[in-house]
Structure 1
Amino acid sequence: MALEDLYHEKQQEVLRYAWNNDFFMLINHGAKRSGKTKVDNDIFLSELQQVKERAKGVGVDNPQYILAGTSIGAVKRNVLNELENDYGLEINLDKFNTFNLFGVDVICFGHEKISHLKKIRGMTSFGAYINEGTMANEEVFDAIKSRCSGEGAKIVVDTNPDHPEHYIKKDYIDNPNIADFHWELEDNTYLSDRYIANIKASTPQGVFFKRNIKGLWVMAEGAIYENFNKDIHYISRHELAQKNIIRYWGGIDWGYAEGHAGVIVVVGEDDEGNYYLIEEHSREKEDIDYWVEVAQRMSKRYKGIYFYADTARTEHIDKMIAEGINVLYADKSGGSVLSGIELIESLYKTDRLFIVEDNVDRFKKEVYMYIWGPDGKPVDKYDNVLDALRYALYTELGDAGVIIYDI
């Protein structure tokens, strides 16, 4: 079977480069769902098949290779599961999160935190595959690079774009000595026209569209929830009463000090797949006993409700559980902040998220004052209700909340 039968044109271009050039680092960056991770996974496999021979040539019988992502879960989801599905491989990690393939010991670990450095300290690697590169701690990224001193070692990086001052962009992609390929969504010619149209229609305008569709490294500017429209997304209690709400759940953001309120929100979903911020409870300088009482009232009002809570205060979560409240850990994994913001923005853009105006207070200020910082991240201010809402929606829905249709 010819290469043209398996890969679209952009994928063929990158694979031919990877197979015919002795690069040290190759970075594939750009739009989501453009097909770049598939190529990087295949380059990773082909590299492993060559490592054993290169290592043998310098007298190394048990060569090591680095495979890193934001977490072990992300490595399994983005790389290992895909390889198993595509090629029927059976990959089982041992207690050290290592597996052997083609005679090479592949060391898997997370790269998001500086504490992950201990996993590779002192090792010599014959190459590395870094998935979700922009999420990597800069010191960890540099350490991975330094460890790749084995004969013929190559580093493959897969990443979506971030802000243009990100170290991956400035120090590596803009370095003329490093190979990089930029990907757009429409490079993936295997996607149907319907799928592409729906992805474009459901992706918020501004930074998310430029990054996720065009694959551009652009700065986020101004208000974060620019697709929120008060004339559309605020509804009254009377309008809510006309909806058939089929389930309820909530979100909790812990806070105490002035300017950083504690918050509990209640979210509902109707039978048409729309979501509602039904209640907001926000107060400063209240201890956990106050929030237990609020959650207990909500539990009585909405039978079977559960809450996704900020894991910054696990002792508060334990207290609520002890008081009979159904509380779960909110998703605060790598990338969850931006992914959660993107989810909520997509719901505003497609008019699937509504706010019961009579039942919110702090939200009315935060939705306009929550802004991007110069580092491309949200400013940690005016975000208490919005964080609680994000915990509730993103932990429950994840990517399922974004309108995505057939491939």
Structure 2
Amino acid sequence: MSAIRPLVGKQLLAVQNSTARLNVYEGSVRSSKTICSLIDWIRYCRKGPPGTLLMTGRTERTIINNLILPIQEMLGPGRVSINRGNGTVNICGRIVILVGANNEAARTKIQGLTLAGAYVDEAPTLPESYWNMLFSRLSVPGAQMFATGNPESPRHWFKTQWLDRAKFWIRDDGSIIDRRGDFARLQAGDPDRPLDLHRFTFILDDNPNLDPDFVASLKSSYTGVWYLRFVLGKWVVADGAIYESFDEAEHKVPHGNLPQMSRVLALGIDYGTTNPTAGILLGIGADGRLYAIDEWSPPRGTDAELSAALAEWLRDTKHEPEWVFVDPAAASFKLQLYRDDTARVADATNEVLDGIRTVAALFSTRQLLISDRCERLLNEIHGYVWDSKQSEKGIDKPVKLDDHFCDALRYAVVSSQFRWFSHLSTPIPAAKEAA
């Protein structure tokens, strides 16, 4: 059981003011918003009204890793026990249901529930329909919800329909907007009446317990939109180039100057039928940096022809990757690779935004370099931009045009991160950063 350090500043203010029906802790990564919300949740589990409690996030696994294990570390395993068989956890004698919600169908998991309380991890990443359903389930008198989240687009539904209508807000600079008087004065249904929502916006510097060197490293890992969101806690539009820190003068390496590869980690493949198939070979050099060593760009063909072409290309490159990570949607091609025993094949990790953020952090810290043999990848990176039409809808999404080698790079990097992450000289946030 680990000691909990005394809360200070905005941390203390947030915990003291988490009295609304909905309490949201949002802002920068590692800014202490999660620990504050968990302290509130533990208190609620002990003293909240009787009835069913629920904790939710993208998957049951992320709920356990991001929330339950830290609670167990704070309170000890005697007070927190995980029942993996039936998807529940016992916190201080209260049974809490765990629900993963990574798609629109997740709302069917909670239909019909009557809840006395709920905790939501990474609320902006959940489907809007699921969120609305969950909030409607809090029908026990005195029920409260506690939610965390990192900033996304300023047009995101979670901001425009919920956060912007808070009746009490402790802002990023510590100033307070208090509309509790309007909430009491105006009738339910009045469009000017705020929601029974308390909002607490944290920035990285609100966490006094972080090592200064770690903070400096974290700040250096982010550029552009990621810096504004995950360091400064701003809800800003993803606009322009996706890899803003990429510079050919710094990131392109003549193939003959590549260092000795300690390991050839992966080949990431974006499979195409009407579009090109693209592959990027990734290794980790003796200098501890990642390198896009070469690219595979076969002509269009059947699955059998592509499998044969890949086997020939791997022989020619004289590099055998430990794994070949293929677009999860390419079922027929993966089956062909299995049948031909072309390589060790697995589904690529395809969390697009998490993957982009990881690649961007590697470029920002100059720990991912690209061989000049990767001509198509180098050409694509400069045109790899955010879709402005999707941004207007509050959605972060790359333009789906000439992005196949960028996708292949992301597959190779993120799918193999468990093999290279601990070898970096400059730490970067994991692909799924704990809030």
TM-score, normalised on structure 1? 0.88
Task: Give the 3 Å change call, closer, same or farther, for CA 277–42 of structure 1 in structure 2.
Answer: same
Deviates more, 1:275-284 or 1:211-220: 275-284
1:39 corresponds, among 30, 36, 41, to 36
2:210 aligned residue? 191
Q: Deviations over 1:79-129 (max 9, x none)?
A: 111111221134223434123434533221122201211211111011111
Cα deviation for residue 369 of structure 1 reads 1.4
CA change 1:402–1:388 in 2 (3 A) is farther
Distance 1:304-1:372 versus aligned 2 partners, 3 A rule:
closer
Q: How does 1:21-170 map to 2 (within 5 A)?
A: 21=19, 23-51=20-48, 54-55=49-50, 63-89=51-77, 90-170=80-160
Amino acid at match of 1:46: R
Q: Distance in 2 between matches of 1:284 and 1:78?
A: 44
Asked if residue 344 in structure 1 is aligned to residue 364 in structure 2, the reply is: no
- Cα distance in structure 2, aligned partners of 1:5 and 1:48: 20
User: Residue 247 of structure 1 aligns with which residue?
Assistant: 263
Runs of 4+ in 1 over 4 A off after TM superposition: 398-402
Deviation at 1:297, TM superposition (A): 3.1
* Partners of 2:229 and 2:146 in 1: CA distance: 21
Q: Distance in 2 between matches of 1:402 and 1:91?
A: 36
Equivalence for 2:170 = none
Contact kept? 1:309, 1:327, Cα under 8 Å: yes
Q: Secondary structure at the residue paired with 1:150?
A: coil
- Whether the aligned pair in 1 keeps the contact of 2:219 and 2:231 (CA below 8 Å) is yes
Tell me which residue corresponds to 2:344.
326
Which 10-residue stretch deviates more, 4-13 or 116-125?
4-13
Q: Deviations over 1:184-232 (max 9, x none)?
A: 00110111222212212222x2101101110110111101111111112
Question: Given that residues 161 and 211 in structure 1 are in contact (C-alpha distance below 8 angstroms), is that contact kept between their aligned partners in structure 2?
Answer: yes
Identity of aligned residues (%): 25
Which structure carries more helix by proportion?
1
Structure 1 residues 21-44: Cα deviation after superposition (integer angstroms, max 9, x where no partner) = 3x1101111000111111112211
| Residues 279-358 of structure 1 mapped to structure 2, 5 A cutoff | 279-283=294-298, 285-300=300-315, 301-303=318-320, 305-324=322-341, 325-332=343-350, 336-357=351-372
SS where residue 297 of structure 2 aligns?
A: strand
- Paired residues of 1:126 and 1:148 also in contact (CA < 8 A): yes
Q: Which amino acid aligns with 1:403?
A: T
Match of 1:17 in 2: 17
How many residues matched?
A: 383
Q: Which residue of 2 aligns with 1:60?
A: none
Aligned-partner Cα distance in 2 for 1:298–1:209: 39
Please list every run of 5 or more consecutive structure 2 residues that lacks an aligned counterpart in the other structure.
167-194, 429-435
Q: Decide which of 391, 403, 406 is 2:426's aligned counterpart.
A: 403
For normalisation by structure 2, the TM-score amounts to 0.83
Following superposition, the deviation at residue 299 of structure 1 comes to 4.6
SS in 2 for 1:144: helix
Higher mean alpha-carbon deviation, 187-196 vs 304-313, is at 304-313
Letter in 1 for 2:103: K
Please list every run of 5 or more consecutive structure 1 residues that lacks an aligned counterpart in the other structure.
Answer: 56-62
Which residue, out of 226, 242, 245, partners 1:224?
A: 242
Report the alpha carbon displacement of residue 5 of structure 1 after superposing the two structures with TM. 4.4
**Superposed displacement of residue 388, structure 1:** 0.9
The answer to whether the Cα contact below 8 Å between 1:250 and 1:265 also exists between their aligned partners in 2 is: yes
The equivalent of 2:171 in structure 1 is: none
Alignment match, 2:173: none
Residue of 251, 260, 285 corresponding to 1:270:
285
Alpha-carbon deviation of 1:284? 5.9
Question: Paired residue for 1:392?
Answer: 412
| Matched letter for residue 310 of structure 1 | D
Deviation at 1:15, TM superposition (A): 1.1
